[in-house]
């Protein structure tokens, strides 16, 4: 049975999709058969980030109808990484259909990552298997931190598990003390920290290069998070070196 993760945040543009792809690449690199599922109905984006947009004809709408997950999942250029694109139109994924899809997907893959759009979809979140770990993504910006605090509270009230990923961290900005300290962000969010991803050019250019640079700071950050998600005790890095 595979592990299931789902990205979440109320705000858009904080890096949910970038994190889903970064973690997908990291898990696939660890030899885990990994499925990314784009939940952004009407506004699909993972096919563009992964460079499979030209061959993406079928989508999650077809996958929930037919349960032919393996046939519909597109193989990405990274070995072990597969994508099911989001449907073109809204409202195609009913909660019961998502439950059945997730159950089938966890039988077929080692890791399944659902990339949700901004705006909270608690009905769909609750339709995922109980073991799903929600990855709350926030940038160090106070607006994003307040947003993820509210999300974490709501997830907890629904009995859903979540962990925090701080994205777009810049030591240069951190040093200037514009934003709260990392401890301050964790306290404000009340969600346990899973990892910190740096502001990085190779993340920003994913839609052009469809991969991260080997051994870049961002690649290493996603790998550390993937390893922690496999219960490896990887300590937090010195902020200067993230």
Q: In whole angstroms, how close is the CB of 155 to Mg ion at the nearest point?
A: 18
Listed ranges 14-22, 75-83, 134-142, 153-161: which one lies at the site for Mg ion (CB under 5 A) = 14-22
Q: Which is nearer to Mg ion, 36 or 229 (CB)?
A: 36
Q: In whole angstroms, how close is the CB of 16 to Mg ion at the nearest point?
A: 5
The residue assigned the tokens 């709408």 is 61
Regarding 16 and contact with ligand ADP (CB under 6 A), the answer is yes
Q: Which two tokens stand for residue 95?
A: 């909660």
Listed ranges 11-19, 27-35, 191-199, 215-223: which one lies at the site for Mg ion (CB under 5 A) = 11-19
Q: Which of 16, 163, 168, 224 binds Mg ion (CB under 5 A)?
A: 16
Q: Which is nearer to ligand ADP, 78 or 167 (CB)?
A: 167
Q: Which is nearer to ligand ADP, 7 or 110 (CB)?
A: 7
Regarding 18 and contact with ligand ADP (CB under 6 A), the answer is yes
Determine how many CB atoms are found less than 10 A away from the CB of residue 98: 22
Report CA 130 to chain centroid distance, whole Å. Answer: 17
Q: Which of 167, 189, 217, 219 binds ligand ADP (CB under 6 A)?
A: 167
What is the DSSP-derived secondary structure letter of residue 8?
A: E
Determine how many CB atoms are found less than 10 A away from the CB of residue 242: 23
Report CA 12 to chain centroid distance, whole Å. Answer: 13
Angle at 222 between CA 219 and CA 228, to 5 degrees: 140
Task: Round to whole Å and give the CA distance between 198 and 196.
Answer: 7
Regarding 12 and contact with ligand ADP (CB under 6 A), the answer is yes
Q: Which of residues 118-157 bind ligand ADP (CB under 6 A)?
A: 118
Regarding 189 and contact with Mg ion (CB under 5 A), the answer is no
Task: Round to whole Å and give the CA distance between 30 and 81.
Answer: 11
Listed ranges 30-38, 89-97, 181-189, 196-204: which one lies at the site for ligand ADP (CB under 6 A) = 196-204
Listed residue (97, 148, 157, 88) closest to 122, CA to CA? 157
Regarding 203 and contact with ligand ADP (CB under 6 A), the answer is yes
Regarding 200 and contact with ligand ADP (CB under 6 A), the answer is yes
Report CA 55 to chain centroid distance, whole Å. Answer: 22
Query: Where does the chain have alpha helices with state H?
Result: 16-29, 46-50, 60-66, 69-72, 95-108, 122-127, 142-157, 171-175, 182-189, 201-204, 206-209, 217-229
Q: In whole angstroms, how close is the CB of 67 to ligand ADP at the nearest point?
A: 27
- Report the run of H or E that residue 232 belongs to, with start and end: none
Q: Which of 8, 9, 17, 217 binds Mg ion (CB under 5 A)?
A: 17
Regarding 63 and contact with ligand ADP (CB under 6 A), the answer is no
Close Cβ partners of 1 (under 8 Å, ≥ 6 residues apart): 106, 107
The site for ligand ADP (CB under 6 A) is made up of: 12-18, 118, 167-168, 197, 199-200, 203-204, 206
């Amino acid at each position: 049975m595979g592990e299931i993760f789902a990205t979440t945040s109320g705000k858009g543009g904080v890096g949910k999709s970038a994190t889903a792809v970064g973690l997908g690449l990291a898990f696939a690199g660890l030899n885990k058969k990994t499925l990314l599922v784009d939940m952004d109905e009407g506004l699909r984006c993972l096919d563009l980030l992964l460079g499979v947009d030209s061959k993406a004809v079928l989508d999650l709408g077809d996958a929930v109808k037919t349960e032919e997950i393996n046939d519909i999942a597109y193989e990405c250029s990274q070995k072990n990484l597969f994508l099911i694109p989001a449907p073109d139109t809204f409202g195609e994924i009913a909660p019961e259909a998502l439950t059945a899809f997730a159950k089938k997907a966890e039988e077929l893959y080692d890791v399944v990552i659902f990339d949700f759009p901004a705006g909270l979809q608690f009905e769909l979140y609750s339709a995922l298997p109980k073991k799903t770990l929600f990855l709350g993504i926030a940038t160090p910006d106070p607006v994003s931190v307040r947003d993820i605090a509210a999300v974490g509270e709501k997830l907890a009230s629904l009995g859903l598990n979540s962990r925090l990923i701080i994205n777009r961290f810049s030591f240069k900005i951190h040093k200037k003390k514009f934003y709260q300290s990392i401890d301050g962000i964790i306290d404000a969010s009340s969600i346990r920290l899973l990892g910190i991803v740096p502001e990085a050019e190779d993340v920003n250019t994913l839609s052009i290069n469809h991969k991260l640079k080997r051994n870049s700071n961002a690649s290493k950050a996603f790998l550390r998070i993937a390893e922690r998600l496999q219960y490896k005790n990887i300590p937090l890095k010195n902020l200067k070196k993230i």
